[in-house]
A and B are shown apart, each in its own frame.
Chain A
Amino acid sequence: MVARAKSSRSPGPGIKGRQQLAGWIFISPVVVLLGLFLFVPVLMAAWVSVSDWTGRGSPFAADVGYVGTENYSQILTGGGLATQDFGTSIRNNLYYVLFVVPLQTALSLFLAVLVSRRIMRGRGFFRTAFYFPSVTSSVAITVLWLFLFSQSGVVNKILSWFTIDGPNWFADPRGVIHVFLRAVGVESAPQALATNEFLGISWWQWVSGPSMAMSAFILMAIFTTSGTFMLLFIAGLQSIGPEIEEAAMMDRANAWRRFIHVTLPMLKPTLFTVITLGLIGTWQVFDQIYVGTQGGPAKTTLTPAYLSFNEAFNQGDWGEGAAIAFILFAIIVFFTIVQRFVLRERDTVKKPRTKRSQAVAVEVER
Chain B
Amino acid sequence: MSTTPATTPPKQRSRLGAAPWTTYLLLVLLALVYIMPFLIQISTSFKTEPEAAVNPIGLFPQNWTTAAYERLFRFSDYATWGMNSAIVTAFVTVGRVFFVSLAGYALARIPFRGRGVVFALVIAVMAVPSVVLLIPKFLVINQLGIYDSYAGMIVPLLADAAGVFIMKNFFESIPVSVEEQARIDGAGVFRTFWSIVLPMAAPAVMTIVILSFQGSWNELNHFIVATQDPQLTTLTKGVAQLASGQLSQGTQYPLKLGAAVLMTIPVAIVFFVFQRRIMNVSAGAVKE
Apart from A154-B40, A325-B133, 4 more pairs, CB < 8 Å: A30-B99, A131-B275, A154-B57, A358-B284
Distance between B43 CB and nearest chain A CB, rounded to angstroms: 11
Chain B 269-286 against A: per-residue CB contact (8 Å), 1 yes, 0 no?
001100100110111111
Chain B 236-265 against A: per-residue CB contact (8 Å), 1 yes, 0 no?
100110111000000101001101110110
Q: B56 is contacted by which of A15, A33, A153 (Cβ under 8 Å)?
A: A153
- A336 surroundings in chain B (CB, below 8 A): 127
Chain A CB within 8 A of B53 CB: yes
- A357 surroundings in chain B (CB, below 8 A): 284
- A128 surroundings in chain B (CB, below 8 A): 272, 275, 279
Distance between A50 CB and nearest chain B CB, rounded to angstroms: 13
Q: A133 is contacted by which of B4, B34, B136, B285 (Cβ under 8 Å)?
A: B34
Known contacts A157-B56, A365-B162: A238-B282 contact under CB 8 Å: no
Q: CB distance A23 to B115 under 8 Å?
A: yes
Contacting residues of chain A (1-40) with chain B, CB-CB under 8 angstroms = 1, 4-5, 7-9, 11, 15-16, 18-24, 26-27, 29-31, 33-34, 36-40
Known contacts A26-B103, A45-B139, A294-B244: A135-B267 contact under CB 8 Å: yes
Main secondary structure of the interface of A (DSSP, over half): helix
Q: CB distance A235 to B259 under 8 Å?
A: no
Q: CB distance B1 to A332 under 8 Å?
A: no
Chain A CB within 8 A of B215 CB: yes
Which of A48, A117, A134 has the most CB atoms of chain B within a 10 A radius of its CB? A117
- A40 surroundings in chain B (CB, below 8 A): 140
Q: CB distance A19 to B225 under 8 Å?
A: no
Q: CB distance A359 to B14 under 8 Å?
A: no
Known contacts A41-B136, A126-B27, A231-B279: A139-B240 contact under CB 8 Å: yes
Q: A356 is contacted by which of B27, B144, B155, B284 (Cβ under 8 Å)?
A: B284
Main secondary structure of the interface of B (DSSP, over half): helix
Chain A CB within 8 A of B90 CB: no
Distance between A336 CB and nearest chain B CB, rounded to angstroms: 5
- A8 surroundings in chain B (CB, below 8 A): 109-111, 176, 179-180
Chain A CB within 8 A of B8 CB: yes
Closest chain B residue, CB of each to CB of A107:
B30
Contacting residues of chain A (335-366) with chain B, CB-CB under 8 angstroms = 336, 340, 355-366
Chain B CB within 8 A of A326 CB: yes
A363–B126 alpha-carbon span in the complex (Å) = 10
Chain A CB within 8 A of B149 CB: no
Q: CB distance B134 to A130 under 8 Å?
A: no
- B30 surroundings in chain A (CB, below 8 A): 111, 114, 126, 130
Residues of A within 8 A of B (CB): 1, 4-5, 7-9, 11, 15-16, 18-24, 26-27, 29-31, 33-34, 36-42, 44-45, 48, 58-59, 111, 114-115, 117-120, 125-140, 142-144, 146-148, 150, 152-154, 157-158, 223, 227-228, 231-232, 234-235, 238, 241-242, 245-246, 249, 280, 283-284, 286-287, 290-292, 294, 305, 308-309, 312-313, 318, 321-322, 325-326, 328-329, 332-333, 336, 340, 355-366
Q: CB distance B243 to A143 under 8 Å?
A: yes
Distance between B86 CB and nearest chain A CB, rounded to angstroms: 14
Give the 3 A-B CB pairs with smallest separation, nearest first: A23-B112, A360-B284, A41-B136
- B279 surroundings in chain A (CB, below 8 A): 127-128, 131, 231
Q: CB distance A364 to B110 under 8 Å?
A: no
A to B CB contacts below 8 Å, 11 in the list:
A1-B172, A33-B159, A114-B26, A118-B5, A137-B217, A157-B56, A284-B131, A290-B240, A356-B285, A360-B283, A366-B162
Q: B102 is contacted by which of A29, A38, A120, A359 (Cβ under 8 Å)?
A: A29
Chain A CB within 8 A of B118 CB: yes
A218–B283 alpha-carbon span in the complex (Å) = 24
Chain B 1-33 against A: per-residue CB contact (8 Å), 1 yes, 0 no?
100110110001110111100010011001100
A36–B151 alpha-carbon span in the complex (Å) = 14
Q: CB distance A129 to B31 under 8 Å?
A: yes
Q: CB distance A326 to B260 under 8 Å?
A: no
Known contacts A117-B19, A363-B162: A137-B218 contact under CB 8 Å: yes
A97–B137 alpha-carbon span in the complex (Å) = 26
Distance between B247 CB and nearest chain A CB, rounded to angstroms: 13
Chain B 153-169 against A: per-residue CB contact (8 Å), 1 yes, 0 no?
00110110110111001
Distance between B8 CB and nearest chain A CB, rounded to angstroms: 5
